[in-house]
Amino acid sequence: MAAVVDQPFPIAVLVSGGGTNLQALLDTVHGHEASIVAVASSVDGARALERASAQGLPTAVFSRADYETRTARDEALAGWLAGHGARLVVLAGYMELLGSAFLDRFPGAVINVHPSLLPAFPGLHAIEQALAYGVKVFGVTVHFVDPGVDSGPVILQRAIELAAPGDADEVLRALRPLEHSLLPQAVRLFAHGALKADPKNPRRVLIEQ
């Protein structure tokens, strides 16, 4: 049975762009099931940082170019988030890979939202990949992050049918409401301790109500 959350669960959010998924978290779970305690970006000047600052949240930029290695960047980023008390890290449009130096600091507690029905079309330009393949059904996946590229266990998925999709921007606009619904839902479930690995298949995530 899922646990009752007495206090908002502390989460950190990683961003790289406009921050619409961050805004969805701010509008739904922040101050309720969860508390966003830190927001970090891979890009200086990202619109998402403005959204976070407007809410008085701690922000920082960890650009890969500022560190000799990705491992050094990951260690610095993980240390900053842990210093703010984060117990779950949410990748909300974060366009960088995270290695073991980061993931080992937050074992089983890093999730990502991806604009495809994984395992189809992982990595960058997922929507463009799907359009090139000619699919009629598009979707969104929230999954745990592992050392691979969008290869961690799936938490939630939702699909929509677009019989005559236009360009990638049009498809993304259609997928945004799914992202903005699924990501807060996954955070709520994690905060309540409702996500468990299936003992028969560790890649399968069970949801306890």
Q: How many CA atoms lie within 13 A of 77 on its CB side?
A: 33
User: Exactly one of 114, 143, 180, 192 is catalytic; which is it?
Assistant: 114
Three-state SS at 137: strand
Residue showing tokens 């306890």: 208
Q: Which residues pair with 158 in a beta bridge?
A: 140
CA distance linking residue 133 with residue 104, whole number of Å: 36
CA distance linking residue 176 with residue 24, whole number of Å: 10
CA distance linking residue 172 with residue 114, whole number of Å: 11
Residue showing tokens 């301790």: 193
Annotation marks residue 114 as catalytic: yes
Closest among 181, 142, 139, 173 to 130, alpha carbons compared: 139
Q: Which residues are catalytic?
A: 114
